[in-house]
């Protein structure tokens, strides 16, 4: 005879595995620090690449002015200024990344805990059924 409660539980587990569970299992396989650290590393690379693009666009935009004034410029000061902006961008972007991915990790762990609880329940249900049938 079909155990309705068991079928419902199995369906719930299957839906979770197919949907958000897939991503959550990947997130949950990391320690919190590792996961956020990896995302922060990706953020630093992204900001660095984006800064390169912005710098390229800026140089090309002001190409004529830069060529005319290149000998009068304090290149060291400009370098320092650019580094300051770059660091501010990295800090701001990393702070945003930290907040977003901490929340995602927390949510994924919560979902996985619930999933594990349901798995245990299912396993217990199967054991109980086995014992009942052996009697």
Partner 1 sequence: MTRLLVIKQYIKYYVARYEVYLQPLAKFALAYIVLQFANGATGYMDRLNSTAVVFVAALTCSFMPPNFMVIMVAGFVVAHMYVVSLECAAVVLAIFLLLFLLFFRFSPRDTLAVLLTPICFSLNIPYVIPLMLGLLGTPLSIVSAICGVVAYYSVSYITANITTVTAMAADDMAVRFRFIIDGILDSQEMLVMTAAFSVTIIVIYFIRRLPITHNWLIAMVTGGLVHILILLLGDLIWDVPVGVGGAVFGMIISIGIAKVIEFFVFHVDYNSTEKVQFEDDDYYYYVKAVPKVTVAAPSRKVRKIHTRRSKEEEA
Site for partner 1, rule CB under 8 A: 42, 46-47, 49-50, 53-54, 56-57, 60-61, 63-64, 93, 100
Here the tokens at position 13 are: 């587990």
Separation between Cα atoms, residue 43 and residue 86, nearest integer Å = 13
Q: Considering beta carbons, is residue 50 or 78 the nearer one to partner 1?
A: 50
Q: Is 31 helix (H, G, I), strand (E, B) or coil?
A: coil
Least Å distance between CB 42 and partner 1? 7
- The residue among 59 and 78 lying less far from partner 1, judged by its C-beta, is 59
To partner 1, the closest distance from the beta carbon of 50 in angstroms equals 5
């Amino acid at each position: 005879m079909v155990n309705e409660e068991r079928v419902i539980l199995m369906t719930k587990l299957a839906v979770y595995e197919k949907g958000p569970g897939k991503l959550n299992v990947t997130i949950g396989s990391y320690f919190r620090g590792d996961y956020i650290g990896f995302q922060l590393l990706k953020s630093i690379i992204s900001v660095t690449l984006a800064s390169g693009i912005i710098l390229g666009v800026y140089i090309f935009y002001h190409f004529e002015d830069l060529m005319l004034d290149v000998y009068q410029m304090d290149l060291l000061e400009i370098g320092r200024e650019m580094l300051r902006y770059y660091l501010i961008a990295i800090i701001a972007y990393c702070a945003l990344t930290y907040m977003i991915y901490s929340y995602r990790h927390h949510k994924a762990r919560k979902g996985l805990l619930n999933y594990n609880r349901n798995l245990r329940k299912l396993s217990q249900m199967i054991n109980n059924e086995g014992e009942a049938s052996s009697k």
